[in-house]
Amino acid sequence: KARRRRSLQHKLHLEKDSRVRKAVQQEGFSRRKRGYRDINDIDINMNDPLFTKQWYLINTGQADGTPGLDLNVAEAWELGYTGKGVTIGIMDDGIDYLHPDLASNYNAKASYDFSSNDPYPYPRYTDDWFNSHGTRCAGEVSAAANNNICGVGVAYNSKVAGIRMLDQPFMTDIIEASSISHMPQVIDIYSASWGPTDNGKTVDGPRELTLQAMADGVNKGRGGKGSIYVWASGDGGSYDDCNCDGYASSMWTISINSAINDGRTALYDESCSSTLASTFSNGRKRNPEAGVATTDLYGNCTLRHSGTSAAAPEAAGVFALALEANLDLTWRDMQHLTVLTSKRNQLHDEVHQWRRNGVGLEFNHLFGYGVLDAGAMVKMAKDWKTVPERFHCVGGSIQEPEKIPPSGKLVLTLTTDACEGKENFVRYLEHVQAVITVNSTRRGDLNINMTSPMGTKSILLSRRPRDDDSKVGFDKWPFMTTHTWGEDPRGTWALEIGFVGSLPQRGVLKEWTLMLHGTQSAPYIDQIVKDYQSKLAMSKKEELEEELDEAVERSLKSILSKN
């Protein structure tokens, strides 16, 4: 294909054949697929020494990565969005606010230390630099640009607030609640890279005060537009399920998973149906530069930040860019924008297929709706009209105890009109919760799926081999799915619950209540359909191109075989 020299010999050979009327050698020239940016066209120069190592910002294939697999921040920056006027609170183990790459973007007034009750959330020193987590997260969001120090934050002109709350022997409800509700009229986005222990056997979530603080945050924060809570989906790997983590699975948080620099899942990624989208974290490869480059304690820099911990602050940074583009975005607008603009890109999950839901939105059980695309997000945010009012409908409830068979599965169905004809009719879904009470001889062997009337199956609970609980089970636990986003909930929902694992188990399902949340009027459904159609058209075009290539190859082969 790449041959430029004329093949006179072949041409003569062809011309000699009596069946050939004319032989012309085709010359190769360039045609570009529209809508894709060439990495080499990005013209952003920063003098920060780690900038070119920040593959999650602009992935040119450095550190053995896949070019183009990044947050597409370059496009957002070029449009002029850098986080100006937006404050992000890092709820963590403190921030080295004297760090020369953070000091100029540090918002001291919005910062607080709930671990030791003072206004100075400076990390406590330990020999092993254990308390470097918050400082590393802060740099990913708000490290200054073009100052010759470390790297560049996703939203490098945003302000960062330190909320120190992880560094005491025990967590309390009041520390969590105070942190989550700290200065909700000043802090726009809260980033949390923590949660219940990721040991694969914990089922836990926010307690009374924290739940109330979150509800108040989304309803009253930011002048009523709602605080944005960004949550790391968890580091428990395939042994854990983030739907058992009540912070990550909350409707009020945007839960973020991670991909590595070649698009695969990280080994510590948990999967669950409540994850909304993904960003990036460190590679599986031994390349020392495949980690997340950011600021570190005491004025240092690091190339080795990792975990879904590293993923959540990147999302907080992207959301800061979107907020700068449109300060009127509500907490729900941010979730809608995330669903609409996140991309499959080159993400690859070896376990779960990418699927499309009933309105054509593509999702994956581990990555959610894909990787955040800052350029697409700010462009859509700019002219975004706030989504219509949200309604809540109890779609139905089954409270008769039902035995789960030791082999095979229990299948229950609920037919709902989604409160049609009532004030709280839900026609277009946002979140769906299945509130479930179940006991069993081994909780970790339970497996629960739920299928919507439009045919979208959500895996509500996967096997957790380390969870050997036989007493507590799940008590009115709200399993959440984002996979039916935009769908019409009217019709029959099916719940399938069974056991996986080698030993026979017993269990009783005592409650399944279907909670539907969403809007009555269609905010952008036409947009989805159009988008879907143009994507379909695009994939057809690619198929045609491939067919053409194959035809060319076939005829070449037959010509050669004649020689």
Ligand X SMILES: *[C@@H]1O[C@H](CO)[C@@H](O)[C@H](O)[C@H]1NC(C)=O
The answer to whether residue 178 forms part of the interface with ligand X (CB under 6 A) is: no
Least Å distance between CB 34 and ligand X?
Answer: 36
What the block records as the tokens of 117 is 């009750």
Q: Which entry of ligand X, Ca ion, none binds 101, CB below 5 to 8 A by partner kind? A: Ca ion
Backbone angles phi, psi at 294, to 5 degrees: -165, -175
Which residues of the chain form contacts with Ca ion (CB under 5 A)? 48, 101, 143-144, 147, 149-150, 198, 234, 236, 240, 245
Q: Give the nearest residue (CB) to Ca ion.
A: 234
Tokens at 231, concatenated? 């949550």
The region, left, alpha or beta by phi > 0 then psi within -120 to 50, assigned to residue 35 is left
470 lies in the binding site for ligand X (CB under 6 A): yes
Structure token digits, residue 347: 């993400």
Judged by beta carbon, residue 223 or residue 401, the one nearer ligand X is: 401
Q: Which of 13, 207, 220, 409 binds ligand X (CB under 6 A)?
A: 409
Specify the residue, 443 or 517, whose C-beta has the smaller distance to ligand X. Answer: 443
Residue 338 or 449 with smaller CB distance to ligand X: 449
Stretch that binds ligand X, among 53-61, 265-273, 366-374, 494-502 (CB under 6 A): 494-502
Query: Minimal distance in Å, beta carbon 323 to ligand X?
Result: 33
DSSP string, 85-98: T-EEEEEES---TT
The partner in contact with residue 168, picked from ligand X, Ca ion, none with C-beta cut-offs of 5 to 8 angstroms by kind, is: none
Residue 537: both structure tokens together: 């058209």
Write the CB contacts of 555 (distance below 8 Å, at least 6 apart in sequence): none
DSSP 12-41: HHHHHSTT-S------------TT---GGG
Q: Which of 327, 376, 508, 522 binds ligand X (CB under 6 A)?
A: 508
Cβ 410 to ligand X shortest distance, Å: 8
Binding mask 410-439 for ligand X (x = CB under 6 A): -----------------------------x
Residues 264-303: x where in contact with ligand X by CB under 6 A, - otherwise, as a string:
----------------------------------xxx---
- Tokens 């089954």 locate to 398
The answer for 72, left when phi > 0, alpha when psi is -120 to 50, beta otherwise, is left
Residues 264 and 352 sit within 8 Å (Cβ to Cβ):
no
**Which one-letter amino acid corresponds to residue 45?**
N
Q: Which does 409 bind (CB under 5 to 8 A by kind): Ca ion, ligand X, none?
A: ligand X
Write down the residue that tokens 């997260």 correspond to: 137
- Positions marked catalytic: 92, 133, 309
Least distance between ligand X and beta carbon 375 (Å)? 34
Residue 147 dihedral angles phi and psi, to the nearest 5°: -120, 15
Residue closer to ligand X (CB basis): 295 or 335: 295
Residue carrying the six token digits 């979107």: 322
Establish if 451 lies at the interface with ligand X (CB under 6 A).
no
Q: Where are the strands (E) in 206-296, listed by range?
A: 228-232, 253-259, 277-280, 292-295
Q: Which residue shows structure tokens 């983030």?
A: 242
In the complex, which residues of this chain contact ligand X (CB under 6 A)? 298-300, 401, 409, 439-441, 447, 449, 459, 470, 496-498, 506, 508
